[in-house]
Structure 1
Amino acid sequence: MQTPYRLGFACQYRHPQGSETLKEVEALQRGYNPRTTTLRWLGSVAASEAEAKLLGIIEHNLAAQLQLLAYVASLPAPLHMLRLSSDLLPFYSHPEWAAFYRAPSVVARLEAGFAAIGAQARAADIRLSFHPGQYCVLGSDKPQVVENSLAEFEYHADMIRWMGYGQRFQDFKCNVHIAGRLGAEGVRAVWPRLSEVARHCITFENEEKTYGIDACLQLADLAPVVLDIHHSWINEDRRIAPDSPRVQAIIDSWRGVRPVMHYSQPVERLQALGFAADAPLEMDAVLAQVGKTELYGHSAMMWNQVVNRYALAFLDRFDMMFEAKDKNLAVLAFYRAYLQG
């Protein structure tokens, strides 16, 4: 039986520190988390050595995702939700490494490796997603940035397709911000250039600076809107009401698929400035102590209880992706504090 809601974490596993040293904890985490390298290093060695290094990283990253999925599968069903890392295939969309990634032996390995990841996720009923980085700017007014952004998004679409997703509307979520000087209209202009897999999976998330909820809703005819309640608070200086008509418009943009929202809190430093964990965070009071840019960062844990209760008011209609520095530990603590029977 499917759980009525899901809570998820993003990209990295954090091991709870008990009697282990920090070094021991870091060693325990390595098997779950991806590795990468730099273009500079790859260019500093012979081609054969660079390719061998990259193949080793790819093998590690594929195995790490399987281990991470096994961990998520061991959690209670409401926690079967995970954002996969975008860094699984270093420099996949970079022109210098295009030939390497098109080699038949590499393609065969990637197809098999990602198929195993998709099969494991479906077997455990884990809802998956990606979130390409903020350099993926489909609405840029610079043609080369648009080309690079399309290539980066199609890199994610390839991984999605190999996992067996992207076959129908929102069987997998791949989330981006609108971004770029051309904004929503720029995104609309490049939309036909995205592959069918990409168009099935893309979502648009409101951000804290320029393109908020209303900008995302301008694209609701193309793709669903991911509501980020922390970004909305910063962008509009007040919290969106759970019963707002705009929330219903966001839900409608998902066309019957259960919506996903993002949840984060400002950094814990606010507590040292007098904001108690059991007291409201009102924007006027916060801005009297810190600049707004300090609110862009994410907290380690979901420390403010009032904001947590506000977030819970959305859970009857949304799955919730936590964007917290302590990753799975933050989700587990929230679940145990507010939802575990």
Structure 2
Amino acid sequence: MIIRLGYVSTAISLWDASPSKALTFARFGQLPEEVRYEKLLSVTYQNLLNTERMIHYNIAHDIPLYRFSSSIAPLATHPEVKWDFVTPFREKWLEIGALVKKHELRTSFHPNQYTLFTSPREEVTANAIIDMEYHYGMIEAMGLENNALINIHIGGAYGNKEETILRFHESFAKLPPHIKAITTLENDDKTYNSEETLKACKKEDVPFMFDYHHHMANLCEEPLEKLLPEGFATWERIGMKPKIHISSPKSEKAYRSHADYVDPDFILPLIHILRSIGQDIDFMIEAKEKDKAALKLVEDLTKIRGVKRIGGAVLEWK
């Protein structure tokens, strides 16, 4: 079994490398009109440069998975600002995409919790579509339409799971087909559990993004030995290896919060199930220490008999 690992957004081992430098609408409004656009350009360009640094870091350390920041282009979806974040940087976007493709990195986006298709308010759904179009626009700018994915949660239950999931399917149908084609759905730690999310994935024909920590915080009746193979089958349409989100609890009291690093003992039961299934897998590490957590987990797992490190963040488990 081969396990590949990656991390989210920022390699904190690098100095001042955040690809999510912000420009708030309040600050934007305080600026003189003649410099507002230049400020948008300068912040976005810095985020693109830092994204490129992240890709080079991943290549140098042989880390095959990376989740892009959703905040590369500030205020791109704000109704009073919306601006063309692609044209001024077209060459830089394509350079980043070319690096990703050349080195066969697996990349993705994960919009925030406000990108919802379950709300009874039509404007929330409309904004969710705008946000998904923004993420797709970045993917398209990099030329990664056939490589990258956008992952979201189903969303809140609004006091009635059965009624809300029907509304989710109605709202999700409004998403443009080319965006839906690269969308995945992830199980939640409070509302829609793994079994419920997998059912929605099958109905929508989208891949199931299994989050192990969320699953342990919000258990379902179906055992993982049965659920995981069914979930992995949803990836067959897009021809990609299944991916799983990995983190461990900060504490028993703060069980849903992510710890700085991943506790190997927490995820070993999952790995044993994956070995019994015989499934190669990709792990997206969602720990607070990001790249450091991914590389430390590799080192921790390598200490186990039968585990061989065959890349910077790649393991072979015999």
Residue equivalent to 2:64 = 80
Distance in 2 (alpha carbons) for counterparts of 1:300 and 1:258: 27
Report whether the alignment pairs 1:36 with 2:11. Answer: no
The structural deviation recorded for 1:32 is 4.9
Letter in 2 for 1:208: D
Matched, 1:176 2:152: yes
Q: Does 1:307 align with 2:244?
A: no
- Structure scoring higher RCO (CA < 8 A, sep ≥ 6) equals 2
Aligned runs of 1:75-154 on 2, under 5 Å? Answer: 75-76=61-62, 79-98=63-82, 100-101=83-84, 107-154=86-133
* Equivalent runs, 1:301-340 vs 2, <5 Å: 301-302=261-262, 304-313=263-272, 314=274, 316-339=279-302, 340=308
CA contact (8 A) 2:194 2:220 kept: no
Task: Provide closer, same or farther for how the CA distance between residues 184 and 161 of structure 1 changes in structure 2, counting only shifts above 3 A.
Answer: farther
Measured in 2, the distance between the counterparts of 1:211 and 1:248 equals: 19
- 3-state DSSP class of the match of 2:201? coil
Kindly indicate whether the alpha-carbon contact (under 8 Å) linking 1:228 and 1:263 is maintained by their aligned counterparts in 2: yes
Contact kept? 2:193, 2:220, Cα under 8 Å: no
Give a deviation string over 1:83-128, Cα, whole Å, max 9, x none. 0000001111111112x32xxxx54224332221111111111100
Give a deviation string over 1:227-250, Cα, whole Å, max 9, x none. 111101111289x855x2111110
Q: Which residue of 2 aligns with 1:22?
A: none
What amino acid is the match of 2:46? H
In structure 1, give the amino acid aligned to 2:6. G
Q: Is the 8 A contact 2:6 2:64 kept in 1?
A: yes
**Separation (CA, whole Å) in 1 of partners of 2:165 and 2:104:** 33
- The whole-number CA distance in structure 2 between the counterparts of 1:163 and 1:200 is 17
Q: Which has the higher strand share?
A: 2
Offset at 1:49? 1.5
**Secondary structure of 1:194's partner?**
coil
| Cα displacement (A) at 1:33 | 3.4
Q: Is residue 223 of structure 2 the alignment partner of residue 263 of structure 1? A: no
Deviation for aligned residue 1:310: 2.2
**1:82 to partner: Cα distance:** 0.3
Counterpart residue identity of residue 9, structure 1 = Y
Q: Tell me: CA distance 1:265–1:42, structure 2 relative to 1, closer, same or farther (3 Å).
A: same
| Aligned partner (choices 205, 215, 218) of residue 232 of structure 1 | 215
Q: Tell me the SS of whatever aligns to 2:81.
A: helix
The structural deviation recorded for 1:157 is 0.8
AA of the residue aligned to 2:196: A
Superposition deviation, residue 131 in structure 1 = 0.3
Offset of 1:263 from its aligned partner?
0.7
Letter in 1 for 2:43: I
Secondary structure of the residue aligned to 1:226 is: strand
Q: Is the Cα contact below 8 Å between 1:260 and 1:318 reproduced in 2? A: yes
2:6, 2:284 within 8 Å by CA — same for their partners in 1? yes
Amino acid at match of 2:88: R
- Once residues 241 and 5 of structure 1 are traced to their aligned partners in structure 2, the CA distance between those partners, rounded to angstroms, is 22
In structure 2, give the amino acid aligned to 1:227. Answer: F
Give the secondary-structure state (helix, strand or coil) at the position aligned to 1:113.
Answer: helix
Superimposed CA distance per residue, residues 138-182 of structure 1 (whole angstroms, 9 cap, x where no aligned partner): 121111111111111110011111111224xxx322110000335
CA shift at 1:37, angstroms? 1.4
Cα pair 1:322 1:331 within 8 Å, conserved: yes
In the TM superposition, residue 50 of structure 1 has moved relative to its aligned partner by 1.5
Give the RMSD, CA atoms, in angstroms: 2.1
Task: Provide structure 2 residue ranges, at least 5 long, that are not aligned to the other structure.
Answer: 303-307, 310-318
Distance 1:237 1:95 in 2: 39
The question of whether the paired residues in 2 share the 8 Å contact of 1:138 and 1:179 is answered with yes
Structure 1: gaps of 5 or more residues = 16-27, 271-285
Deviant stretches of 4+, over 6 Å: none
1:213-224 alignment runs, 5 A limit: 213-221=194-202, 222=204, 223-224=206-207
Q: Which residue of 1 aligns with 2:56?
A: 70
Work out the percentage of aligned pairs sharing the same amino acid: 25
Match of 1:252? 233
Measure, in 1, the Cα distance between the counterparts of 2:81 and 2:286: 31
Structure-2 residue corresponding to 1:278:
none
